[in-house]
Amino acid sequence: ETGVTQTPRHLVMGMTNKKSLKCEQHLGHNAMYWYKQSAKKPLELMFVYNFKEQTENNSVPSRFSPECPNSSHLFLHLHTLQPEDSALYLCASSQGNQPQHFGDGTRLSIL
Amino acid sequence: EDKVVQSPLSLVVHEGDTVTLNCSYEVTNFRSLLWYKQEKKAPTFLFMLTSSGIEKKSGRLSSILDKKELSSILNITATQTGDSAIYLCAVVNNAGNMLTFGGGTRLMVKP
């Protein structure tokens, strides 16, 4: 148990579907992150939120839309995804300069 | 653009062997380097290094940073099958708390 919970664990969706990934952290951290992990590529940072405010959008296509209603919850809304978006999506949280703690991820498959 | 390169890409050893994993980086305004272990799920934090030449140790694992050579090594002694995982190296710059990851080293320890 890492203190960062992601749901669902697995998701299969068609290119025209709309779905959301959820992340919740129970560590009292003030920053949350979304990463994408594709096969044979390094972990890629997508979005950063500090105190609920988005501070980084790493050139992510608009078909990915993050939402951070409070410091403990982070969502990633998905719409009209492409097959190359199939990947493991990892959420992380941190406090100050301390190391980031990761959730187990959502394995996303786009048909 | 920050860059992290890990070597080797993959490694197969037998139980009891000692392994050394390498990480080299190019980063503007370096703040820290982190090592994570990723088995099937969440990357789990191993070490955070900020100062050159100071070894950090946890059981059979140890790591050290060389700021002059812009590199770090992760050593695992007396390897066990449970050490089989992907080992990830990441750097943080002073611009924020974003991690730039290397591609990882996949370690397999055979009985």
Beta-carbon contacts of residue A61 (< 8 Å; ≥ 6 apart)? none
Cross-chain Cβ contact B45/A99 below 8 Å: yes
**Alpha-carbon distance values, A7 to A25, A48, A76 (Å):** 12, 19, 11
Q: Give me A98's structure tokens.
A: 């301390």
Q: Are the C-beta atoms of B24 and B70 separated by less than 8 Å? A: yes
The phi-psi region of residue A83 (left if phi > 0; otherwise alpha if psi is between -120 and 50; otherwise beta) is alpha
Beta bridge partners of B105: B87
For residue A5, the 8-state DSSP code is: E
Interface check A10 vs B, CB under 8 A: no
Report the mean per-residue pLDDT for chain A: 92
Give the integer Cα–Cα distance in Å for B98 and A89: 16
- Residue A49's identity, in one-letter code, is Y
Nearest CA in chain A to B41: A104
Nearest-CB residue to B41 (from A45, A56, A105): A105
Percent of chain A's residues with pLDDT above 90: 77
Confidence band for B94, pLDDT divided at 50, 70 and 90: confident
pLDDT tens per residue across span B44-93: 999 999 999 999 999 999 999 999 999 999 999 999 999 999 999 999 98
Give the Cα-Cα-Cα angle A33, B29, B19 (nearest 5 degrees).
75
Nearest CA in chain A to B48: A99
Interface check B68 vs A, CB under 8 A: no
Residue A50 pLDDT: 86
pLDDT tens per residue across span B1-47: 889 999 999 999 999 999 999 999 998 889 999 999 999 889 999 99
